């Protein structure tokens, strides 16, 4: 894949510096702007685009239906009709009047309009068309550097002869490629513009690579290649020969862009659509996205891949690990970054863990069966040679008994080179294999326990492990805290996703540390909001005082975060206490959550609060029993509860509460 991307870069540099390309850019651009030739352009354009013209008929009956089918949504004809006489004229002769069918318009070398443009088009088209076909590009464009007009394209789609500065595709990624390349110096590397849905190609994903064209030191235009998504898919799927490439029944290799969406197609969408969509539905994947995946029949730009592999590769790491893939299936994943210009993609190769380790498991079964067979043979030989082999057989029997009682670190001395020695070697090998399997099982159990404790409180996790299926408990008195960062979404909208994730992880990690130290149970985070509770699953009669300490500890964490990151983030905090119901929700993906009026009131305390202040309810005020300094804020109306008294928690009274 890296070789292909580097080859494309070399090809556009070579073609852009070719004297033929420089001549074509000059000749086609000059003749392009002579086309009006003093006529009434507005009148002629209206004739060419009128409802009874062949060009209008092409847009109405060919282009628009194909675009609606490819984009799966209704389109407006007038949005795409040519808006200048030059555009209408050239599209009329090279698209509407072109006798070759849709998708083969590049077969026309010269329109019979007698124009100077058509003479130059005939001179250069054969070479550029051959270049496109031999190297497998979707289209090649020559664009005027002053106006942004596409003075030439090989494939002749609806973008031909339009302006990338004020035409119908001025907001496309092709226009972005032109603008960025037009600002480059002659010695700069070509620029690459990421995949996006491209209307002239009937809504198919398209990416572009571009470089400026210079005649000596004079800038004269921009050369742009439209990169073929089919070629990238062919490389990533090995021509859909996954088994021949050693990827078995479940292996695949794919690309992920910096927005965490695929840049090549999923094997499972091609080979097992039903299983693919079933897996996504089990993960509660958005129904709209699943519908689009089905309609567009591609995972490119639609399938989100937010896994350890994609995060790692897009961060520049190259590793191999067992993870859950985008289908929620445990896989053996090898991943790393791949660079193309200023863009970095994730290159990921994965195979289901069950298939990857199947040969090892099969070998283990063969070894066990072989060991049992040897053990049976050993018994038969022991009976026959009982007098000669009594001692080594007794040693083997004793060792086997110890293995059966749980001992694993046993190795017998091999004292001969005969059958008994061979049998002893086989026994030692069997013990080694059993010990290795035991340690593997222990590691897996430890990993499972650690994962469960990351999701649930330890007492709840132990109840689940002991077989309790439904867990829901009533707690008569707890304190609940909600926090929310003020304006965080607006503040972070232009930041890279990885930076936002890292900052939230840093901030909420410091909150978690304070909560753990105080014995407060974190419940969840939702975006930039944080929720915790004190007094469950282990009751705590001092829950209100402890929650007060947590609230001020969290504010201290935010101040420290702002100081370290030179930010000015603010946060609303609300606290209430009362009865709640807490329990485990879900059967395959567990969540420990709270519900009840206490939770709702704590949330209202936060949402109606003041940034960087701690707003508390009347109930929490009373539960503090005078150990904190508080300011009466006043009455506010709370949905479902009416008018309630609220207070601002200012800090502990001197000597009343010890802050950790």
User: Could you tell me if 139 and 21 lie in one domain?
Assistant: yes
Taking residue 45's Cβ as centre, other Cβ atoms within 10 Å add up to: 21
Tokens of 138: 């979707």
Tokens of 242: 């996954």
User: Could you tell me if 338 and 364 lie in one domain?
Assistant: no
Q: Strand, helix or coil at 304?
A: strand
CA distance 202 to 229: 14
- Residue where a domain terminates, one of 227, 256, 286: 227
User: Could you tell me if 495 and 540 lie in one domain?
Assistant: yes
pLDDT of amino acid 659:
47
Q: Is residue 275 part of a domain?
A: yes
Q: Is residue 462 part of a domain?
A: no
Q: Strand, helix or coil at 394?
A: helix
Looking at 456-542, list the stretches that DSSP marks H as alpha helix, in order from N- to C-terminal side. Answer: 458-465, 488-492, 497-518
User: Could you tell me if 351 and 362 lie in one domain?
Assistant: no
DSSP 249-274: TT-EEEEE-TTSBBSS--HHHHH-HH
Q: Strand, helix or coil at 110?
A: coil
User: Could you tell me if 370 and 496 lie in one domain?
Assistant: no
pLDDT of amino acid 410:
73
CA distance 514 to 511: 5
Residue with tokens 């089905």, as numbered in its chain: 294
User: Could you tell me if 534 and 647 lie in one domain?
Assistant: yes
> Residue 533 half-sphere exposure, CB side, CA atoms within 13 Å?
27
User: Could you tell me if 365 and 419 lie in one domain?
Assistant: yes
User: Could you tell me if 381 and 398 lie in one domain?
Assistant: yes
Q: Is residue 457 part of a domain?
A: no
Q: Is residue 617 part of a domain?
A: yes
- Residue where a domain terminates, one of 337, 355, 373: 355
| Structural domain harbouring 616 | 469-652
pLDDT of amino acid 125:
97
- Provide the pairing of β-strand 570-585 with 614-617: parallel
CATH at 37: 3.30.450.20
CA distance 85 to 174: 22
Q: Is residue 549 part of a domain?
A: yes
- Residue where a domain terminates, one of 227, 245, 274: 227
Q: Is residue 205 part of a domain?
A: yes
User: Could you tell me if 11 and 155 lie in one domain?
Assistant: yes
Distances (CA, A) of 116 to 112, 113, 145: 11, 9, 21
Helices 273-282 and 287-296, packing angle to 10 deg: 170
CATH at 618: 3.30.70.1230
| CB 228 within 8 Å of CB 135 | no
Mark the ranges of the chain whose per-residue pLDDT is less than 70.
37-38, 382-393, 396-397, 399-400, 402-409, 431, 434-435, 438, 440-457, 460-461, 463, 465-467, 469, 586-590, 655-660
Domain count, the chain: 4
User: Could you tell me if 348 and 365 lie in one domain?
Assistant: no
Taking residue 418's Cβ as centre, other Cβ atoms within 10 Å add up to: 11
CATH at 346: 3.30.450
User: Could you tell me if 284 and 372 lie in one domain?
Assistant: no
Tokens of 494: 């232009």
- Reply yes or no: is the peptide bond before residue 537 cis, omega within 30 of 0: yes
User: Could you tell me if 326 and 207 lie in one domain?
Assistant: no
- Detail the DSSP E strand segments found in 145-203: 150-153, 191-198
Tokens of 303: 């399938």
Q: Strand, helix or coil at 633?
A: strand
């Amino acid at each position: 894949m890296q070789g292909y991307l580097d080859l494309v870069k070399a090809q556009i540099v070579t073609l852009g510096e070719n004297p033929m390309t420089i001549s074509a850019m000059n000749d086609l651009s000059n003749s392009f702007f002579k086309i009006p030739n003093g006529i009434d352009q507005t009148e002629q354009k209206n004739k060419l685009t009128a409802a009874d013209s062949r060009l209008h008929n092409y847009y109405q009956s060919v282009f628009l239906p194909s675009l609606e089918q490819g984009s799966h949504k209704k389109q407006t004809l007038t949005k795409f009709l040519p808006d200048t006489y030059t555009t209408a004229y050239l599209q009329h002769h090279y698209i509407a009047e072109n006798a070759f069918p849709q998708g083969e318009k590049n077969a026309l070398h010269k329109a019979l309009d007698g124009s100077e443009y058509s003479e130059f088009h005939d001179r250069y088209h054969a070479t550029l068309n051959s270049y496109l076909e031999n190297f497998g590009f979707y289209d090649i464009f020559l664009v005027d550097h002053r106006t942004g007009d596409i003075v030439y394209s090989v494939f002749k789609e609806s973008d031909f002869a339009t302006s990338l500065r004020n035409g119908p595709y001025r907001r496309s990624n092709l226009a972005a490629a032109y603008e960025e390349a037009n600002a480059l110096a002659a010695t700069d590397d070509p620029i690459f513009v990421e995949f996006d849905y491209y209307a002239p190609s009937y809504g198919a994903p398209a990416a572009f690579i571009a470089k400026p064209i210079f005649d000596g030191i004079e800038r004269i235009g921009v050369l742009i290649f439209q990169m073929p998504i089919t070629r990238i898919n062919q490389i990533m799927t090995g021509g859909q020969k996954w088994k021949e490439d050693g990827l078995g029944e479940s292996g695949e290799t794919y690309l992920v862009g910096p927005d965490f969406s695929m840049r090549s197609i999923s094997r499972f969408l091609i080979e097992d659509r039903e299983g693919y969509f079933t897996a996504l539905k089990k993960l509660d994947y958005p129904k709209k996205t699943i519908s689009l995946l089905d309609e567009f029949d591609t995972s490119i730009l639609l399938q989100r891949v937010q896994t350890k592999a994609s995060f790692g590769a897009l961060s520049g790491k190259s590793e191999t690990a067992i993870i859950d893939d985008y289908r929620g299936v445990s896989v053996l994943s090898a991943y790393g970054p791949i660079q193309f210009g200023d863009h970095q993609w994730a290159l990921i190769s994965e195979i289901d863990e069950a298939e990857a380790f199947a040969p090892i498991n099969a070998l283990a079964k063969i070894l066990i069966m072989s060991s049992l067979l040897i053990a049976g043979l050993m018994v038969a030989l022991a009976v026959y040679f009982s007098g000669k082999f009594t001692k080594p057989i007794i040693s083997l029997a004793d060792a086997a008994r110890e293995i059966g009682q749980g001992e694993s670190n046993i190795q017998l001395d091999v004292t001969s080179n005969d059958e008994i020695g061979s049998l002893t070697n086989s026994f030692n090998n069997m013990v080694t294999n059993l010990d290795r399997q035991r340690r593997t099982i222990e590691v897996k159990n430890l990993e499972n326990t650690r994962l469960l404790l990351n999701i649930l409180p330890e007492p709840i996790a132990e109840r689940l492990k002991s077989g309790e299926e439904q867990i829901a408990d009533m707690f008569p008195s707890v304190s609940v805290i909600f926090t929310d960062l003020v304006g965080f979404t607006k503040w972070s909208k232009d930041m890279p996703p990885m930076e936002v994730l890292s900052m939230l992880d840093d901030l909420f990690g410091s909150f978690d540390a304070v909560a753990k130290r105080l014995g407060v149970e974190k419940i969840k985070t939702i975006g930039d909001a944080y929720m915790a509770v004190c007094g469950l699953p282990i009751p705590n009669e001092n829950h209100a005082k402890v929650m007060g300490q947590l609230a001020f500890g969290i504010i201290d964490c935010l101040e420290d975060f702002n100081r370290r990151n030179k930010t000015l983030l603010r946060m609303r905090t609300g606290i209430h206490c009362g009865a709640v119901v807490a329990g485990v929700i879900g059967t395959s993906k567990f969540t420990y959550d709270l519900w009840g009026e206490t939770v709702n009131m704590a949330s209202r305390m936060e949402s109606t609060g003041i940034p960087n202040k701690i707003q508390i309810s009347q109930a929490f005020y009373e539960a503090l029993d005078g150990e904190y300094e508080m300011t009466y804020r006043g009455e506010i109306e709370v949905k479902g509860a009416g008018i309630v008294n609220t207070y601002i928690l200012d800090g502990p009274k001197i000597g009343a509460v010890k802050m950790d």
